[in-house]
Amino acid sequence: MSYTVRPATPADRSGIVALHKAAAVTPGALARTPEEVTPDYGDYALACDICLVAVEADATVVGEIHAKRETVALFAHVLGGLTVAVHPDRQGQGIGSKLFEALIGWARAQEPAILRIELAAGAGNPGAVRLYERLGFQHEGRQVARGRLPDGRFEDDILMGMLL
Ligand SMILES: CC(C)(COP(=O)(O)OP(=O)(O)OC[C@H]1O[C@@H](n2cnc3c(N)ncnc32)[C@H](O)[C@@H]1OP(=O)(O)O)[C@@H](O)C(=O)NCCC(=O)NCCS
């Protein structure tokens, strides 16, 4: 089914929350559990400097990406706090790549310039890491035992960055 990528509006809030709840069901994907995806999370995403959605013709949100520009002057060229999710039924169809393409295009057009985009992925999410590598993100380090899974096991975070 076809979809459009566009800036999110407040009308997308419940769609964003529903999408993240659905994507959070897959273990090892998003940091939040489905229960942790609250309506407030939709507000948080909408308040970011960039929040883009992929929507179908009937306005169903099937993908979302958001990120924040750092506010401290030293880091003001950095776009971080990036989260991306595509509905499990629509993964592997290019939607995540299109959302990143639009986000990177937006970042390149910002004044003052954004010169760096950074993100982190769980080491147990190799598919996402592969996508980020393909998009041009470089491996920058590893945070050991950054995450703790419901069964008590620890998981490292892989830090990645892209210079524009
Ligand atoms: C990671 C994610 C955003 C990628 O979006 P997408 O629309 O599935 O990605 P695209 O179709 O544009 O690109 C496909 C690539 O994404 C990666 N990928 C990650 N998870 C995938 C999945 N469940 N299904 C298919 N591809 C996936 C693969 O590297 C794939 O490349 P390949 O075909 O060479 O193996 C999406 O799969 C998702 O929402 N996953 C769950 C949430 C998540 O992991 N978010 C990132 C947290 S760091």
Residue nearest to atom 16 of ligand 1 (CA): 131
CB of 27 shorter than 6 A to ligand 1: no
Q: For ligand 1, say whether the CB of 160 is within 6 Å of any of its atoms.
A: no
pLDDT at 55: 98
Instruction: Tell me what pLDDT residue 28 has.
Output: 82
Q: What is the pLDDT of residue 99?
A: 98
Distance in angstroms (rounded) separating the CA atoms of residues 157 and 141: 8
pLDDT at position 27 is 83
- The reply to whether ligand 1 has any atom less than 6 angstroms from the CB of 65 is no
Q: Is 121 touching ligand 1 by the criterion CB < 6 Å?
A: yes
Q: Is 66:48 a contact under the CB 8 Å cutoff?
A: yes
pTM: 0.96
| Residue pair 116/106 in contact by the 8 Å Cβ criterion | no
- Each residue's pLDDT, cut to its tens digit, for the chain (164 residues) gives 799 999 999 999 999 999 999 999 988 889 999 999 999 999 999 999 999 999 999 999 999 999 999 999 999 999 999 999 999 999 999 999 999 999 999 999 999 999 999 999 999 999 999 999 999 999 999 999 999 998 999 999 999 999 99
CA angle 3, 85, 113 (to 5 degrees): 90
- CATH numbers and ranges of domains, the chain: 3-163 (3.40.630.30)
